[in-house]
Each structure stands twice: as structure tokens, then as C-alpha cells.
Amino acid sequence: MIEYEPVIGMEVHSELLTESKMFCGCKVAFGGEPNTRCCPVCLGLPGSLPVVNKRAVEFVVRTALALNCEISHHSIFHRKNYFYPDLPKGYQISQYGETPIGVRGYVEITVNGTTKRIGIRRVHLEEDTGKLLHVEGDRSLVDYNRSGVPLMEIVTEHDPAAGFDQINSADEAREYLVRLRSILLYLGVSDGKMEEGSLRCEPNISIRPKGSGEFGVRTEIKNLNSFRAVYNGVKYEIERQERVLREGGTVIHETRRWDEPRSVTASMRSKELEQEYRYFPEPDLVPMVFEPEWIEAQRHLLPELPQEKKARFMAEFGLTAYDAGVLTDSKALAEFFEKAVEGYHDPKIVANWTMGEFLRLVNAAGIEVDQVKITPGHLVDMLKLMDNGTISGKIAKTVFTEMFETGKRPEDIVKEKGLVQITDESAIESAIDQVLAENPNEVERYKAGKQELLGFFVGQVMRATKGKANPGVVNKLLREKLS
């Protein structure tokens, strides 16, 4: 039986976090009253002229540099012509052909222990369209608030002739997107919100007999708005194409839509029917010329990127690759960890709390790290309360949860809730006496040699003291009493 190999190319669009739109001064924001952030330029009114948003260009150049691209020294805009109501000018200002801002870069991904350098074909700048809202009947409403928002497109290279690795599985496609999103967030150029559509991904998928030198016919999937959807959509499409070929059919070059409720892809339109865009250079904008010194200045402005931070965390704090990877996945998490480490002597303990309780609570609450009420200082204070014996490790978890929910200082929580650890031997002794009196059978069996019962007694005493007894003291006293 023929074995097939999937080949995947990813087109990712990201709205840029600029204050204003790409070619006019209108404000960029999500949502809001429809058609309130528009002007003659982004409405495409006759006689209006575009002016390039310099900040958007810088963002794309920095992204391209972070993705190891070469920067074109000369880059121009094109008009992509098509007619649709979300595009008031009748064309989108975009970049085409040999003139994108960045070319020939790569993103490193690691899946199942194998590291690949996924080739980046191009990084370019364009503008977003308006938004159509289909209401009941055959009516549609259009909102131009999004029209002209700076949009960056990042396209991977599927051809190994370019000198880089390709994406060959749904796992790798998702991991590529995870890595790319993390880099964009570190750079501060995107908010990365797939659910709001500010980060959008369209995978192109084909399969070919393993070892074949030619590529199969590809399909493109639209409407994927989560990592999970990207993974499921790509996986589904690989399996569907394989089924088609095994049954003797042919894959059609088409655009398919991910149908989330049914978990299938469905045909949207055939590529053969797609219109000709009649690209031509935008006559209202001058070419962009990037001097080498200016490019180097932009390179200097790059922040420490996820991989560099990971390597530094391993070297500086002695963390494992796994721990350093988790902690640097998100910039906000890495910053939380690093601030806490400044105030505490043992990075490993800070890492455990950050990756453990902290992330667990963040995920359970379904929020982002930067929305959390706990400060790094609070974590440090809590660790110190553990070190000086004020609270036990068990109580610390209760305190941590309370800090997470209320943002209060650990000292205050301990005081308010009376969580101070009991180290006073006489108080613990009376709890022990009570437990032993209530469990005469267990005491007898223990004395007859069943040593494992010590754990049972410790548990009972901890329960009687609501977890506040110092476990070390409990153990010591129990052994004495039972000997």
C-alpha cells in the first residue's frame, strides 16, 4: 500500500497593535459602535489619499527580523482588485510578488523531540477589510471600523528547495502557530487573539506518495479560530485527501471551510473559479527604501525572544529545558517568574509554584496571566512564611488560592483566617491524645507491629487541627507516644 506524506503551508494574518490604521489616522480598536472609526481614506472615498503608518512598517520589519528573514531594501505596495462590499475601494492595498518586506526566514519548532526549522517564504504588510454581518432574510450589514487596520501576513515555505524544513503533520502545524504567536506577543506587535480574529490562520494541505519529488494538489482551510481547530482541521483534511486518493478519486484545488460543530471541512469554492486579482503597483504610495543602518537599528530594538529567554533561564537559574520552556511560553508568565526569583533564593521552588499552582489556577479560571491578581512579591512573601515556619506547605496552598482569588497579601490572609501553623507541642499533644483515645483498635495494631498506621494517625491529627499542626512535630510526638 502506498504511504502518503502530508505537506502543509501556513498563511497567518495578524492585525497589528498600532494606535491608528494603516493609511489614515482612524483609531484601531476591537468592537464598538459600527462605523464610528472611519474617514474618507478607509472608506475609499474619491480624492482621498493614503499615507503609510510608519509604526506598522517598523512592526513588520521587527517581526521579519525575529523570524530570521532578510529584509528587502526596496519594497512596494500593490493593489489587489476584487469587488466585495467589505472592501470599499474595490481593491485592497497589499504587497505582491518579489517585494514583500521580509523573505527567506525560519521558525524553529520541536515536536516529539525533533527540532525543525520551518521556512518562512514572506512577511508582508497589507490592510484589513470591513466586516459583514449577515442578518435575517437576505440582508447584510457592513461595519467599516476594521477597514484599513494594519494587517501583517506571514507565509511559510513548503518547498524544501528553499533550504528549510516543511510542516508535515497536524501536530507540527499547531506547534508552528504556537511558536509564531508567542514570538508576536513577545514583540508586542499583535494581541494574538484567535477568537476575536486578530490572529487568523489558513493552512494549505496536500499529500503525496512518500519520497515523491512532486507536490500533490492542495486545499486551503478557512475559519479556524483556535489552536484546537487548526489541529483538528489539518488532521481531518489529511485523512480526507488520503481517503479520496485511496478510493481512486482526485483532490480538487479548492478552499474549504472548517465546520466546528460537525468537525469536518466543507467545500467553499473552487480555486479554478477564483477571480484574477489584476495586481499592479499602488500609484498613490511611494516605494519604501530601507537603509542597512535603519534595519540594524530595528534589530537592536528587538526584545529578548522566547528561545533566548529559555536558554538564559536554563543557564542562569539551572532549570531543565522542559521547565524553562513552560515558563517562557508566555511573556507574562516569564516576567512573573523572573520578578519573583529576584526576591527569593531558590529559583527551582519559584518555578514549581509558578508552573504548578499558579498555572493550574490560571487555566481553571480561563484567564490570561496578565489578568492575575497575585503579584510576584506576594508569592515571595508566602514562600518566606513557609520558610520561617509560620505556615505549612499544605496551608500554603490554601493561602495561594486565596491570594489568587482576592489579590490580598499572604500575611493578611494568614491573620484573617487564623492559618498560623501550630508548633506549640502542648497544643499538638492534646490533639494526639484525643486521636489515640478515639482509635484504640488502630493503636493496638500499631503496637503489634503494623507500622504503616503511623500515616493514618498523622492524617487524623492534621484533620483535628484543620491542617495547621506542624507535620514534623506531629510525627515526632506520635512516635514518642506510641513507642
Q: Which of 3, 4, 6 is nearest to 221 (CA)?
A: 6
Are 253 and 21 in contact, with CB atoms under 8 Å apart?
Answer: no
Is residue 218 close enough to count as binding ligand ADP by CB under 6 A? yes
26 binds, among Zn ion, ligand ADP, none (CB under 5 to 8 A by kind): Zn ion
Min dist CB 174 to ligand ADP, Å, is 16
Report 138-167 residues binding ligand ADP (CB under 6 A): 155-158
Is residue 435 close enough to count as binding Zn ion by CB under 5 A? no
Measured from the CB atom, the residue of 72 and 206 that comes closer to ligand ADP is 206
Grid cell listed for 207: 499529500
Min dist CB 19 to Zn ion, Å, is 13
Give the amino acid at 20: S
Q: Which of 163, 173, 176 is nearest to 206 (CA)?
A: 173
# binding residues, Zn ion (CB under 5 A): 5
Q: If you count them, how many residues does the chain have?
A: 483
Measured from the CB atom, the residue of 9 and 50 that comes closer to ligand ADP is 9
Place of cell 501583517: 152
Measured from the CB atom, the residue of 75 and 95 that comes closer to ligand ADP is 95
Measured from the CB atom, the residue of 176 and 313 that comes closer to ligand ADP is 176
DSSP lists the bridge partners of residue 314 as none
Q: What is the DSSP letter of 301?
A: T
Measured from the CB atom, the residue of 161 and 437 that comes closer to ligand ADP is 161
Place of cell 481517503: 243
Is residue 107 close enough to count as binding Zn ion by CB under 5 A? no
- Tell me the H-state helices in 165-226: 170-187
Is residue 53 close enough to count as binding ligand ADP by CB under 6 A? no
Task: Classify the phi-psi angles of 47: left when phi > 0, otherwise alpha if psi is within -120 to 50, otherwise beta.
Answer: left
Min dist CB 411 to Zn ion, Å, is 52
Min dist CB 269 to ligand ADP, Å, is 13
User: What is the H or E stretch that residue 35 is in?
Assistant: none
Pairing of strands 199-209, 280-281: unpaired
- Tell me the H-state helices in 366-482: 376-387, 393-406, 410-417, 425-438, 440-447, 453-464, 471-482
Measured from the CB atom, the residue of 162 and 454 that comes closer to ligand ADP is 162
Measured from the CB atom, the residue of 36 and 267 that comes closer to Zn ion is 36
Min dist CB 6 to ligand ADP, Å, is 8
# binding residues, ligand ADP (CB under 6 A): 16
Tell me the CB-side half-sphere exposure of residue 251, using CA atoms within 13 A: 24
Measured from the CB atom, the residue of 146 and 158 that comes closer to Zn ion is 146
Q: What is the b/e burial string over 419-445, where b = at least 16 CB atoms within 10 angstroms of the residue's CB?
A: bebbeeeeebbebbeebbeebeebbee
Rg (the chain; Cα; Å): 30
Is residue 204 close enough to count as binding ligand ADP by CB under 6 A? yes
Report 3-62 residues binding Zn ion (CB under 5 A): 24, 26, 39, 41-42
Is residue 402 close enough to count as binding ligand ADP by CB under 6 A? no
Stretch that binds ligand ADP, among 68-76, 138-146, 216-224, 235-243 (CB under 6 A): 216-224
Tell me which of 82, 215, 280, 294 binds ligand ADP, using CB under 6 A.
215
Is residue 376 close enough to count as binding ligand ADP by CB under 6 A? no
Cα torsion through 444, 450, 452, 458, rounded to 10: 10
Distance CA 400, CA 381 (A): 11
Is residue 100 close enough to count as binding ligand ADP by CB under 6 A? no
Measured from the CB atom, the residue of 234 and 379 that comes closer to ligand ADP is 234
Place of cell 528549510: 164
Min dist CB 129 to ligand ADP, Å, is 16
Stretch that binds ligand ADP, among 5-13, 53-61, 281-289, 405-413 (CB under 6 A): 5-13
Distance CA 137, CA 375 (A): 51
Min dist CB 232 to ligand ADP, Å, is 18
Task: Determine the angle formed by the axes of helices 425-438 and 471-482, rounding to 10 degrees.
Answer: 50
Site string for ligand ADP, 102-131 (x = CB under 6 A): -------------------x----------
Measured from the CB atom, the residue of 149 and 194 that comes closer to Zn ion is 149
Is residue 14 close enough to count as binding ligand ADP by CB under 6 A? no
Q: Which of 323, 306, 64, 14 is nearest to 182 (CA)?
A: 306
Applying CB under 6 A, the residues found at the interface with ligand ADP are 7-11, 121, 155-158, 204, 206, 215-216, 218, 220
Site residues, Zn ion (CB under 5 A): 24, 26, 39, 41-42
